[in-house]
Structure 1
């Protein structure tokens, strides 16, 4: 007699003795409740299949995910991880470094397991029910990311962690607003083998190794830094250059001057809007690059010439035929105020001040005391929006033509230290090639950094993890925002390495450049 039949019979009065063996009453009830047992089991199965946390199969899980327009692609990153885990476990011997990346367990801990125990633990991690449990993490995590707020950094980090099979413990927003860090733990847990039974008279067996995964850190950078440049183009003496750039803020700019013939003599680059300029007291040979770097260092074909360079700040004036209303500097009134404008200017510009040179105050003299010992001479800033620049060289004139106004001359031309001005505009030749290079924060872009260990489950082009994740995050990003997936690399490299502020500096851990490269590995060129 089944348990359900006994339960039904116990509801009858005791004097009927319905549960006594051999009574036909009990046999009838047993036959009636047989179908009820099947129906109850079926109802329970249907009820479980309608709950994400209890769905017994991948098919049931995907049916629920489709209610939120989540298809089978939501499980692609996890499926690719599982496939890589099975193929790595099948190898003889398995690659412990790859397994460590897939599981988050240090390779030294995996090496403490015997071949049999390791195979047993990997077999448990590859079971179907494990895949279903990880699938629940992905679906519930994606839905939870939508609930806390789409397009937010926290939602993007939660969704990324869910699709990878991680559980986020806390999201921290780094001061400054650009960086957001999520501390997460691996959901694919490796079960250690049971301890061996003790043997009489033998020392107790060692405890099994701790196979807990190390905590992971996911990072998100809003408006990541990118490199931008304007290729050097020919510029004649006094020619103006108009630069229009977007971005979020003003940036320090590296100015590139390439020598052209023998005409790049004492180049001077001036930002007209701020009245600031950079000067190199020397010649730039043909094809050689002079760089006023954004760090304030000046190099000529990789040779440091900072000591022969200087910068100035002061008022700049344009000729009547080349005026910039509202931008050209103007003389102040006797009381120091800026006049309301003139017919030539149209609107008042910034107040003019006498030019001041640094780090050598006598730099405007005919024989300035150079070289100096300062470590930097700048830099200049490239503002957001529209800015105007001009490039100058030392031009010498021998006098004015008959019938024309005399040409003013403050200093005489210098042998091998100046170039002659052209007699007519048609004879003007380019004096240099002028270009700009800078780093700026890219608008409408987000960069998500994954722990380096996940690269073990991906290929070089990112078709197994990075590309599927990028497509999945489309539903969590704002329209028009570009989301990029990259792997954080802790190895130090020239120009990208960082110095950590302390042992708890999570930003220094997740970004890059805090660990030395292993011996014998190929290192990138700077």
Structure 2
């Protein structure tokens, strides 16, 4: 029953107000029309004040403004819509088919569609494979993708995504800020992603969750599956700290001061000086650990030991000539220290070498080349010593007896490579320039890692705008005094700096431990 009929039904029956052709019915219809408009407007006003029902983007944003949510926090969604429309323009255009197919794949990246390329094959008829995209069936698939994408980027879709974004922020605030969950969920929400349960590494430095895109496409057989991506967080992200490159003489003892969270393994760089860098050894006097090289480092050549116990001489693997040891080392009687080894202490033991027997008579170099153990660096002051292969004479009981070489053999002199201890003035010359480096953890800093595909939204600037917008969105969730960095998940491999890898995994933390490190764009050509 219409509103006009309701009005007429209230008149007395004998007036027969509802009979067609009566002037009373015309007047009632005119009044009802105005009342319908007023009721519709009142309903729209009521919906505009309800975040779950608001029809207009302006109303959703004004409700968000009550929580100090600004338009700047929605910029990633605007970038995605702009990117999608730009790729749709190519898909719908008259460019050659290969160009349109490439644009389709970029468009599907914008929507976070799962599967292996070419993902446009999801829009083909049943029974057709990806090869069919090169013919008329490819045109059909492009048309279907275009129709689905146009539906996904319409105004109602943007309003729904913005509503979900505002509600996500409010729900997260209600559960609390300044936590790992707040930052991961906040980053995912800023990218219009839904996250699953957050998983943690054993050392609690790495946290990650599987995320899927809210912006979905519908294919011929229904909604298409979204890719499983990783949103992660690294507490106190690692960076490489180092000492200055300093020249050292044989037997020199020195200290390195460091702030940090715990012991870290060292990477050691030794640069040859003249022809004196023969059999260099570096010893951590606090740990009783040392590492050395049974060979010559030519002038200005570089010998590097990494944290994993591999040695490289001018870039070539030289581990077969390297060794390490662990055991008690002699202290300085003039400068006693609490960490000195003592004969009556339980940790005072003779040195053992890697490879086994590497310091004894009869051991043959080069060996099999298995990794050795690098010394470490502690928190505070760590004491070290540097040695070259200073020659010591062998001994024999009489003129006809066989010579007995010095042990450890690294100090056994040979006439073709003898290193003398000093000059006539009593000063020992520098035998090498030495630098230590290690992976340090940055205090009061967290790094939020987001999927690399979002870099394409600002390809000209390597995704800088996306990183900036996500960082702004996370500012409301971070704890006071904590610096939040945002980086893309990157797949470039760097030996010895295993932090992140690209792609999702059943355990998302495994993706954060995949053997790569995040690179700054300024560090690459």
Q: TM-score, normalised by structure 2?
A: 0.77
Q: Which residue of 2 aligns with 1:517?
A: none
Aligned to 2:156: 129
SS in 1 for 2:339: coil
Candidates 99, 103, 112, aligned match of 1:104: 112
For structure 1, which segment, 64-73 or 451-460, has the greater mean C-alpha deviation from structure 2 after superposition? 451-460
Cα distance in 1 for partners of 2:322, 2:488 equals 41
Q: Which residue of 2 aligns with 1:58?
A: 57
Residue 359 of structure 1: aligned partner:
355
Q: Structure 1 residue 279 and structure 2 residue 286: aligned?
A: no
Q: 1:159 aligns with which of 166, 169, 186?
A: 186
Q: Which residue of 2 aligns with 1:319?
A: 332
Q: Which runs of 5+ in 2 are unaligned?
A: 114-118, 124-132, 394-405, 517-522
Q: Note the alpha carbon deviations across 1:10-42, whole angstroms, 9 max, x for none.
A: 567767866566788777766766655444333
Distance of aligned partners of 1:317 and 1:119 in 2 relative to their CA distance in 1, 3 Å threshold? closer
2:387 corresponds to which of 384, 387, 392: 392
The answer for the alignment partner of 1:81 in structure 2 is 80
Count of matched residue positions in the alignment of Structure 1 and Structure 2: 470
Shift of 1:132: 1.2
Aligned mates of 1:499, 1:35 — CA distance in 2: 63
SS at match of 1:68: coil
Alignment correspondent of 1:432: 432
- Shift of residue 309 of structure 1? 3.2
Change (3 A) 1:151 1:498: closer
Choose the corresponding residue for 1:270, options 273, 283, 288. Answer: 283
Offset of residue 245 of structure 1: 2.6
Q: Can you list the C-alpha shifts for 1:240-271, whole angstroms capped at 9, x where unaligned? A: 33222333332222222111112222212110
Residues in 1 aligned to 2:367 and 2:512: alpha-carbon distance in whole angstroms:
41
1:239-250 alignment runs, 5 A limit: 239-250=252-263
Q: Residue 449 in 1 paired to residue 446 in 2? A: no
Offset at 1:315? 2.6
**Residues 388-434 of structure 1, C-alpha deviation per residue, up to 9 Å, x if partnerless?**
11111234699xxxxxxxxxx99896533222324556x34322111
- Distance between the aligned counterparts of 1:27 and 1:362, measured in 2? 110
After superposition, residues 109-508 of structure 1 pair within 5 angstroms as 109-110=122-123, 113-192=140-219, 208=220, 212-223=224-235, 224-321=237-334, 323-332=335-344, 352-361=348-357, 363=359, 369-373=364-368, 375-395=370-390, 414-415=414-415, 416-422=417-423, 427-459=427-459, 460-489=461-490, 504-507=506-509
For the Cα contact (< 8 Å) 1:311–1:359, is it kept in 2?
Answer: yes
In structure 2, C-alpha distance between the alignment counterparts of 1:50 and 1:358, rounded to whole Å? 73
Deviation at 1:43, TM superposition (A): 2.5
Q: Deviations over 1:296-319 (max 9, x none)?
A: 223333344434333233333333
C-alpha separation in 2, matches of 1:266 and 1:117:
70
Give the distance between the partners of 2:492 and 2:390, measured in 1 at CA: 51
CA contact (8 A) 1:179 1:219 kept: no
Q: What TM-score comes out, normalization by structure 1 length?
A: 0.77
Tell me whether 136-145 or 238-247 shows the greater mean CA deviation. Answer: 238-247
Change in CA separation of 1:494 and 1:176 when aligned onto 2, cut-off 3 Å: closer
Q: Is the 8 A contact 1:489 1:510 kept in 2?
A: no
Deviates more, 1:299-308 or 1:93-102: 299-308
| CA distance in 1: counterparts of 2:380 and 2:336, whole angstroms | 16
Q: CA deviation at 1:128?
A: 1.6
Structure 1 unaligned residues grouped into runs of 5+: 193-207, 333-337, 339-349, 399-408, 515-523
Distance, in Å, in 1 between the alignment partners of 2:187 and 2:432 is: 50
The answer as to whether partners of 1:103 and 1:213 remain within 8 angstroms in 2 is: no
How many angstroms apart in 2 are the aligned matches of 1:499 and 1:71? 33
Shift of 1:181: 3.1
* 8 A Cα contact 2:48 2:55, kept in partner: yes
SS in 1 for 2:43: helix
